């Protein structure tokens, strides 16, 4: 009988985009106010500089400064304002004793023309920037939809199990990469996969989609966890057969398959992936396997059946599965992230708290420079 469950919140990075379509994020507040600050600075400088050193010519740069955060219409208006204001500053008391004709004959008529030319260029620059921002917003919107389809939100609770997910792309604008995960409630219990595709970009996404599609079907059909891994391997081999040249050997996936039935155990099949952590009140244990299988798509070299390791998993226990983007994060000295030691030092945490703490700690440890995609799943067995 399938465990009752309800859908819930996934990681912040896997929430699907809204129905309003792509949105261009506004420029930072300081950038929007920069033109006003620039004019204020000129007004401060004008009275304190010598008469022969008028600083109003600095207004030439105002249209370009405006173009960084505002649209073409705003740049055009600012250009007109700059030309008029240059003339106003030329007639201020700071310029007393100068004939009126000075304003047009000597007060840099070239300055007014230069400001107009820069204003036209700034208008085109602003229009180009707006188009690029809209294009980027569309690309990000499509990437978020693709990620939502590929990495659908995991159920928040399945029977006595709480589940949370974390996904971080190393490319800030990509929002999607080669790391993958899935949690499927079945008649055999909760079945989970987490994996890391070798390579980057669209080929890695295609490979991840192949594996996830195979797993989602096999998780319901196969009574044995090893058979689920074998089905995934078969799908990967079929895909590899369609690839050309040396691409075949480059499209492999390290993965961990896990199964949590209702008998207070967790079963693991490890295919060349970092070992999960079993977190208990009395410590943290790496679930190393004595005979790990090779990564998927290299399983043609496997002559024996997939090995299933079984561990106790009772109330109060928590399972943390992760990709090597976690353990291969480096600090400034090049040292790898000590996941086991960090998790042990944090003590008992709920799944969402654990992943949030892990996310923050990775950013601090790497000085906000993650160089690889990162995925993690936390499964907590509620106390009875």
Confidence label for 96 from pLDDT (cuts 50, 70 and 90): very low
The pairing of strands 253-260 and 155-158 is unpaired
User: Helix (H) and strand (E) counts for the chain?
Assistant: 12, 12
Question: Is a pLDDT exceeding 90 seen at residue 360?
Answer: yes
Residue 355: CB atoms within 10 A of its CB come to 22
Asked whether residue 240 falls in the same domain as residue 357, the answer is yes
Task: Give pLDDT, residue 220.
Answer: 94
In a domain, 238, yes or no: yes
Q: Please, are residues 60 and 82 in contact by the beta-carbon 8 Å criterion? A: yes
Q: Say whether 378 sits in a helix, a strand or coil.
A: strand
pLDDT-derived band at 21 (thresholds 50, 70, 90) equals low
Which range, 31-40, 108-117, 204-213, is most confident? Answer: 31-40
pLDDT of residue 248: 52
* 108-128 residue pLDDT tens: 577 788 889 999 999 999 999
Q: How far apart are CA 40 and CA 65, in angstroms?
A: 14
Cα atoms found within 13 Å of the Cα of residue 88, Cβ hemisphere only: 9
Beta-bridge partner residues of 166: 376
Query: For residue 328, what are its two tokens?
Result: 């291969």
Considering only CA atoms, which of 150, 165, 134 is closest in space to residue 13? 165
CA quadruple 165, 171, 175, 178: dihedral sign: negative
Residues 223, 111 within the same domain: no
Quote the pLDDT of residue 171: 59
Q: If pLDDT is split at 50, 70 and 90, which confidence band does 278 have?
A: very high
- Note whether residue 250 is domain-resident: yes
Mean pLDDT score, 117-141 = 88
Domain count, the chain: 2
Inside any domain, residue 21: no
Region 150-161: mean pLDDT is 86
**pLDDT (tens digit per residue) in 210-240:** 899 999 999 999 999 999 999 999 888 887 7
- The backbone region for 285, taken as left when phi is positive above 0, alpha when psi lies in -120 to 50, beta otherwise, is beta
| Weakest-pLDDT range from 41-50, 299-308, 313-322 | 299-308
The residue among 3 and 75 whose pLDDT is bigger is: 75
Looking at per-residue pLDDT, the higher value among 301 and 161 belongs to 161
Residue 91 or residue 231, greater confidence: 231
- Cα–Cα distance, 31 to 66 (Å, whole number): 9
Tokens of 147: 């990620």
Q: What is the mean pLDDT of the chain?
A: 82
Do 216 and 84 reside in the same domain of the chain?
A: no
Given 142, 177, 203, which residue is the final one in a domain?
142
Closest by Cα among 200, 338, 321, 329 to 269 = 321
pLDDT band at residue 52 using 50, 70 and 90 as cut-offs? low
Q: Give yes or no for a contact between 336 and 330, defined as CB atoms under 8 angstroms apart.
A: yes
Residues 129 and 160 in one domain: no
What is the pLDDT, as a whole number, of residue 273? 94
Please report the pLDDT score of residue 12 as a whole number.
41
- At 91, is the pLDDT very low, low, confident or very high (cuts 50, 70, 90)? low
Encoded tokens for 168: 């971080």
Instruction: Tell me the average pLDDT across 327-346.
Output: 93
24 found inside a domain: no
Does the pLDDT value for residue 17 go beyond 60? no
Do 110 and 189 sit in the same domain of this protein? no
pLDDT of residue 236: 85
Q: Among 142, 175, 204, identify where a domain stops.
A: 142
Q: Is residue 6 classed as helix, strand or coil in its secondary structure?
A: strand
Does the residue 23 lie in any domain? no
170 and 133 share a domain? no
Domain that holds residue 169: 5-16+153-381
My answer on whether 47 and 12 are in the same domain is: no
Q: What is the pTM of this model?
A: 0.69
Tokens 């929430």 found at: 15
Contact 67, 123 (CB under 8 A): yes
On whether both 224 and 325 belong to a single domain, the answer is: yes
Same domain, 123 and 179: no
| Least-confidence region, from 43-47, 61-65, 155-159, 253-257 | 43-47
Distance CA(149)–CA(219), nearest Å, equals: 18
**Range with top average pLDDT, 44-53, 84-93, 309-318:** 309-318
pLDDT at 247 over 60: no
**Residues near 6 by beta carbon (within 8 Å), at least 6 away in sequence:** 155, 156, 157
Same domain, 44 and 170: no
What is the model's pLDDT at position 302? 59
3-state class of 13 per DSSP? helix
For residue 279, report the phi and psi dihedrals to the nearest 5 degrees: -105, 120
**pLDDT range class, residue 371, cuts 50, 70, 90:** confident
Q: Which of 228, 272, 230 is nearest to 254 (CA)?
A: 272
Q: Could you tell me if residue 137 is left (phi over 0), alpha (psi between -120 and 50 degrees) or otherwise beta?
A: alpha
Claim to verify: residue 109 and residue 223 sit in the same structural domain = no
Find the DSSP H helices in the chain: 29-32, 34-48, 62-67, 72-90, 101-105, 109-150, 201-221, 225-241, 247-250, 324-327, 339-346, 351-365
Query: In CATH, what number is assigned to the domain containing residue 170?
Result: 3.60.40.10
Q: What percent of the chain has pLDDT over 70?
A: 79
Among 32-46, 81-95, 298-312, 325-339, which range has the highest average pLDDT? 325-339
- Mean pLDDT, residues 324-333 taken together: 91
99 or 114, higher pLDDT? 114
Q: In sequence order, what are the residues at sequence separation of 6 or more whose Cβ sits closer than 8 angstroms to the Cβ of residue 131?
A: none
Whether 39 is in a domain gets the answer yes
Question: Does 181 lie in the same domain as 110?
Answer: no
| Mean pLDDT score, 152-173 | 83
Please indicate, yes or no, if residue 367 is contained in any of the structural domains: yes
Q: Which of 142, 163, 183 is the last residue of a domain?
A: 142
Q: 115 lies in a domain?
A: yes
């Amino acid at each position: 009988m399938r465990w009752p469950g309800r859908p819930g919140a996934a990681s912040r990075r896997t929430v699907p985009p809204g129905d309003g379509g792509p949105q261009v994020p506004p420029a930072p507040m300081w950038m929007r106010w920069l033109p006003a600050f620039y004019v204020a600075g000129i007004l401060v400088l004008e009275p304190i500089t010598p008469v022969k050193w008028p600083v109003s010519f600095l207004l030439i740069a105002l249209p370009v400064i405006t173009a960084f955060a505002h649209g073409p219409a705003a740049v055009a208006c600012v250009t007109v304002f700059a030309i008029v204001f240059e003339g106003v500053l030329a007639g201020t008391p700071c310029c007393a004793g100068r004939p009126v004709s000075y304003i047009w004959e000597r007060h840099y008529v070239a300055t007014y023309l230069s400001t107009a030319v820069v204003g036209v260029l700034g208008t085109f620059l602003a229009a180009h920037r707006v188009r690029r921002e809209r294009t980027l917003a569309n690309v990000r919107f499509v990437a978020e939809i693709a990620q939502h389809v590929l990495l659908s939100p995991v159920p928040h609770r399945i029977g006595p199990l709480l589940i949370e997910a974390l996904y971080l792309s190393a490319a800030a604008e990509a929002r999607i990469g080669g790391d993958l995960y899935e949690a499927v409630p079945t008649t055999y219990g909760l079945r989970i996969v987490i994996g890391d595709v070798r390579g980057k970009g669209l080929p890695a996404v295609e490979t991840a989609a192949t594996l996830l599609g195979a797993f989602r079907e096999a998780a319901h059909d196969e009574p044995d966890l090893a058979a689920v891994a074998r089905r995934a391997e078969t799908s990967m081999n079929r895909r590899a057969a369609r690839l050309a040249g040396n691409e075949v050997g480059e499209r492999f996936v390290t993965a961990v398959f896990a199964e949590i039935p209702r008998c207070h155990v967790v079963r693991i099949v490890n295919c060349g992936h970092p070992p999960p952590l079993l977190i208990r009140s009395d410590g943290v244990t790496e679930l190393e396997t004595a005979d790990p299988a090779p990564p998927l798509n290299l399983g043609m070299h496997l002559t024996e059946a997939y090995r299933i390791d079984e561990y106790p998993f009772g109330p109060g226990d928590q399972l943390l599965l992760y990709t090597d983007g976690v353990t291969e994060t480096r600090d400034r000295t090049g040292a790898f992230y000590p996941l086991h030691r960090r998790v042990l030092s944090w003590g008992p945490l709920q799944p969402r708290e654990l992943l949030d703490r892990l996310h923050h700690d990775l950013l601090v440890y790497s000085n906000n420079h993650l160089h690889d995609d990162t995925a993690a799943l936390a499964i907590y067995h509620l106390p009875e």
